[in-house]
Amino acid sequence: MEGKKLLALLCVSWSVFCLTECVCPEGLYTTSNRLECCLCPRGFRLMNDCISPRTPPQKCEVCDPGTYLDHPNSEQKCERCKTCDNFANMVEGQRCTPSSNTVCVCKDDHYCDKGDECKVCYPCSTCEFGIKVPCNLTSDTQCNEKAPEESKITTAIAITVPIIALIAVTLIVVFFLWKRKRLCFKSDEKFENPESLELLGDTDLERFLPRISEILGFKVVRNVVRRQGMLSQTIIDNVMDENPRDANERAYQLLKAWYEKHGMKGAYKALTENLIAINMRSKAEEVHELIKELSNRGERRNGDV
């Protein structure tokens, strides 16, 4: 019972649907006699209208070669297929059919970026510095912009390299000066200008001699003494012979012999100058520090008394 009802309902629906859609799937048109007829399908033109309402036309005819109709219609004539313009650098991409127009595309190595509006194709650009994105039918070649980048890099190198070189050279020079203790970081003016040592006056070195000889060591003392040329080689040899085992003692004795011969006047200055002359500036500085320190201590002790 239920089944029959359902079947009846389906039949009614189908009939209603078919009245409008089944018979005229493409839609309707109205003739000059106010009669509604089905449209001819794509690729066909209308020859004769229908006789009864909402029925297919008596005759639809397929479009002749070289003509087309790409939509359901009631046209009596098909439209001419377009031809592709070789002078516009275009060639046929898809042939014309009764239901579709010709599709024109750009010929090889040409592009057109106007989409459906395209009337002319242009030759693809060539690249001086290589292709970034190749040309295709719808967009031109995209090229690498090597030149500006290269000049940027060149500029960067031109600026950076000399700066780095300058810093490196400066560091090397500073390093060597520092190593040779030429550059006095404490900037002790006395050693920049030995003349100013005289401001210290003639310090009596007598009581400093043991410490000074310790600082200098025998070889340095001997170099200084020889350079000054005040003691004969015999005296130097004697000092060496008398103290064959004890280098410290040899240094002290030699320095003492030199000091006695030289006399107090200008002795400190001469010692300093000779140390600097034999490239022993650091030793000269040490001696200077020693004398300064011991003198201060002596003064303080005197002040306390």
Place of tokens 């275009």: 90
Contact present, 112 and 93 (Cβ < 8 Å): no
The residues facing 30 across adjacent strands are 36
Could you identify the residue written with the tokens 């200055």? 269
Helix %, strand %, coil % for the chain, to 5?
50, 15, 35
Which residue number places its CB atom closest to ligand NAG?
136
Letter string b/e over residues 222-247, b meaning 16 or more CB atoms within 10 A of that residue's CB? bbbbeebeebeeebbeebeeebeeee
Q: Based on CB atoms, which residue is closest to ligand NAG, 139 or 248?
A: 139
Q: Are 223 and 279 in contact (CB under 8 A)?
A: no
User: What minimum distance in Å lies between the beta carbon of 90 and ligand NAG?
Assistant: 16
Q: Cβ of residue 126: shortest distance to ligand NAG, in angstroms? A: 16
Please give the span between the terminal C-alpha atoms of the chain, in angstroms, as a whole number: 142
- Of 132 and 297, nearer to ligand NAG (C-beta) is 132
Kindly state the smallest distance separating residue 133's Cβ from ligand NAG, in Å: 5
Cβ nearer to ligand NAG, comparing 27 with 134 = 134
Decide whether 114 or 152 has the Cβ nearer to ligand NAG. Answer: 114
| Min dist. Cβ of residue 92 to ligand NAG (A) | 17
Would you say 137 or 278 has its CB closer to ligand NAG? 137
Task: Please report, as ranges, the residues that interact with ligand NAG according to CB under 6 A.
Answer: 133, 136-139
Least distance to ligand NAG, CB of residue 100, Å: 20
Q: Tokens at residue 274, please?
A: 């000779």
